[in-house]
A and B are shown apart, each in its own frame.
Chain A
Amino acid sequence: MIGGGLVGATLAIGLARASHKVRVLDGGDTDFRSSRGNFGLVWVQGKGAHSAPYAQWTGSASRAWPEFAAELLDATGVDVQLQQTGGIDYCLTESEFKSQADKMQRVQDQTDGMFEYQMLDNKEVRELMPQISKAVVGASYSPQDGHVNPLKLLKALHTQMQKLGCEYLPNQPVIDIEARNSGFKVITRDGEFYCEKLVLASGLTNTELARKVGMSVPLKPNQGQLLITERFEPFLKIPSIHIRQTDEGTLQIGDSSADIGYDDSTSLQVLAMIANRLLKIFPHLINVNVLRSWSALRVLTPDGLPVYEQSELWPNAYAVNCHSGVTLAAQHATVLSQWIAGESVDNYQGIINEFSADRFTDV
């Protein structure tokens, strides 16, 4: 397993459960690591408006989350703080409201009605979240959304992965891979490793590593900035893509999106824009102290959907990337790992096939 972020750690768990002996070679702290800078949403609404497989896959991940979180707690003692109390996406203009309504309807159509949602006006939103301002035109609400503490999730995954016998080697950046008929020789900065099966889960670095084993995985970074506040009275029972409150009371505020390459610096201008938008929704937060801010890079494919690729040239090599590694973790630990392990995944095979990287080369 190359990479020990959310994707690599989750797949290592699934493969260890499928009786594989797994070694995880991870990079170092200076790498771009979205698994350490993300927002922690287990988010369904809006996902897959243009892709039925993605809408269905995301929905199944959200339904699999309670069992996954319970297993992690039981095995590791780490409570990832899963709360699936629903999610809200606030709209500040009529046109935002209308395009959100269209998007939600499309997702429902793509899932044959499995995706549930409501479009709420200001008064109805106020019943769920009394603190919102008059500036909120309305919102979409889905009972299927939720959130976790993403750093606790990463900790739980690493604990579980090592408990299941996976060998974890940090600071072992892979610099080359040689494919042979018997397997792969993986060359890191410090040594050489051999394996029969190779899974690339190195985030943005996957493009470069995949090429070495005959796969073409186009990816590009997309920057998101976040604000973290002091602990505040618990008031936000329902998370949104703009704000969520942790069990400890911290408010995590986002989220920006910028196509600016490999740049994970923060800028006052973007942070101010994030804060100003939030204050339009929740004016009572005006005096809350912001303690920290950071930026992290999303891992995006050209169409925003996951890549689950098996090398045609070297069929024991796989590449896995996704935009929503938190949300999809529950499916990655089970179904996707079984697919990589060569087990039957029944109805899901069709969905997994849809996410082959072929789609970027078939014209």
Chain B
Amino acid sequence: MNFPQTDLPMFKTASDVEKIEIAVDGKSTMVPKNVSVAAALLLAEAIPFRYSKVDQSPRAPYCLMGVCAECLVTINDEPGQFACQTNVQPGMRINRS
């Protein structure tokens, strides 16, 4: 079988992507532009995102589609924001609890 040849790679490696600066727990962090806060934190290995209010267990994004509410973080001082449903912006302040 012949696959069409192209010079454009289907996936770009993260290092090729334009980066922006955000603050994660007060620490300056470079993350790819145009990704969700959840993806940015996962790339930055900022895990866990939070601790369960019920049993204090460590939590991280599970569904990545706005359903499970496991990814809640504080964004620009606003608590309880869905990291998977919010895109990163330059200068954004993200705090984990």
Q: Chain A: residues with CB nearer than 8 A to chain B?
A: 230-234, 248-249, 287-289, 291
Contact of A249 (CB < 8 Å), options: B53, B72, B79: B53
Q: A230-B72, A231-B52, A289-B69 are in contact. List 5 more A-B contacts (CB 8 A).
A: A234-B54, A287-B80, A289-B72, A289-B80, A291-B67
Cα–Cα distance between A234 and B67 once the two chains are bound (Å): 21
Cα–Cα distance between A232 and B53 once the two chains are bound (Å): 6
| Residues 37 to 56 of chain B near chain A (Cβ within 8 Å) | 52-54
> What is the total number of residues of chain B having a CB less than 8 Å from a CB of chain A?
8
**Interface CB pairs A-B, < 8 A, 14:** A230-B72, A231-B52, A231-B69, A232-B53, A233-B54, A234-B54, A249-B52, A249-B54, A287-B79, A287-B80, A288-B80, A289-B69, A289-B72, A291-B69
User: Would you call the interface of chain A mostly helix, strand, loop, or mixed?
Assistant: loop
A231, A232, A234, A248 interface centre (most CB from chain B within 10 Å):
A231
Contact partners of A291 in chain B: CB under 8 A? 67, 69
| Residues 53 to 78 of chain B near chain A (Cβ within 8 Å) | 53-54, 67, 69, 72
Contact partners of A289 in chain B: CB under 8 A? 69, 72, 80
Cα–Cα distance between A289 and B54 once the two chains are bound (Å): 16
Contact partners of B54 in chain A: CB under 8 A? 231, 233-234, 248-249
Cα–Cα distance between A288 and B69 once the two chains are bound (Å): 12
Contact partners of A248 in chain B: CB under 8 A? 54
Tell whether, in the assembled complex, residue B52 and residue A230 are in contact, meaning their CB atoms are under 8 Å apart. no
